[in-house]
Amino acid sequence: MAPGTLQGRDLLSMDDLSVEELWMVLDLALDLKARMKAGERPPLLQGKTLAMIFEKPSLRTRVTFEVGMWQLGGTAVYLAPQDVQLGVRESVADVARNLARWVDGIAARTFRHATVEELAKHAEIPVINALSDLEHPCQVIADLLTIYEKRRRLEGLRIAWIGDGNNVCHSLLLGAAKMGMHIVVATPEGYAPREDVVERAQTSAARSGGRIQLTQDPREAASGADIIYTDVWVSMGQEEEREVRLQVFRPYQVNQALLALANKDVLVMHCLPAHRGEEITDDVLDGPHSVVLDEAENRLHAQKALLALLLR
């Protein structure tokens, strides 16, 4: 595919990228990572600016977008929840229209997915979903990069999602299906991924040769897995459900017993932040199979590639 086809586009969902475009992002990320390790920092976004609107806290997403823009020769402006107050101090549409007059792109972390969609609708510049209640595509692009680096392929690998059918799970379902992976999602009753997302993933899987499987049994998912992925049981914005969720998800902890069912060289993944002792034990998170810090590092390289392709 010719370069430049992503220029000016939004990235709200994993489904906003075709298979070819996703590979384009991954290839550029690998290239930028290698060049950075060799001391090179190509100024692909010289003089460009990114506004970052956050309705929720962040460590990885904020730092990697900000550092990434700087390394590409541009700059980023961080807007904290109390600064913008999307839809409270000013309508989402007005915020989008103002920002579009000053900056070259917007990364937004919102409670409601409809808010990033509204920003994208009214801003004539690329809008990137930096996590909403529905998806976390930047995370999953970095995760696919991490898996590819470790295994030199994506197609045919079996990935087990254990825990909540949440935003990260949705993006992983869509991304894994697109890349021809076999994804098995184990969630408690009532916490399965959204049906419309599963249907979209199934459509992709039918094209790519991937496979989607849903279960309530974490052991079934972990058996023979090449990758085990988990995330917090209580996502940002769900704090009031904490007590109930801690009970419901208890059988879904990723621990040594679950790991023992997977392939010998299984990769353990977590988007972080982790709640140690809840969804994952210390010994697994810090153990030899864990690639969580590689995932965190790859947020930088993956998002630099994405920024360079969308904003250029």
Confirm whether 158 is a catalytic residue.
Answer: no
Under 8 Å between Cβ of 160 and 252: no
271 binds ligand CP (CB under 6 A): yes
Confirm whether 136 is a catalytic residue.
Answer: yes
Confirm whether 289 is a catalytic residue.
Answer: no
Q: Which residue do the tokens 């208890």 mark?
A: 250
Pair of tokens at residue 214: 């849903």
Active-site residue (options: 60, 122, 245, 299):
299
Pair of tokens at residue 160: 């087990």
Shortest Å, Cβ 78 to ligand NVA: 17
Residues making contact with ligand NVA (CB under 6 A): 131, 166-168, 231-232, 235-236, 271
Active-site residue (options: 16, 271, 301, 303):
271
Pair of tokens at residue 219: 């052991």
Pair of tokens at residue 215: 């279960």
Which residues inside 47-76 make contact with ligand CP, applying CB under 6 A? 58-61
The entry of ligand NVA, ligand CP, none that residue 167 binds, CB within 5 to 8 Å by partner kind = ligand NVA
Confirm whether 101 is a catalytic residue.
Answer: no
The entry of ligand CP, ligand NVA, none that residue 162 binds, CB within 5 to 8 Å by partner kind = none
Q: Which stretch binds ligand CP (CB under 6 A): 5-13, 33-41, 248-256, 270-278?
A: 270-278
CB-wise, 104 or 164, nearer to ligand NVA?
164
Buried b / exposed e along 31-48 (16+ C-beta atoms within 10 A): ebbeeeeeeeeeebbeeb
DSSP element (H, E) containing 141: helix 137-151
**Phi-psi category of residue 223: left, alpha or beta, with phi > 0 → left and psi -120 to 50 → alpha:** beta
Q: Which residue do the tokens 């298979």 mark?
A: 19
293 binds ligand CP (CB under 6 A): no
Q: Summarize as ranges the residues that interact with ligand CP (CB under 6 A).
A: 58-61, 131, 139, 271-273
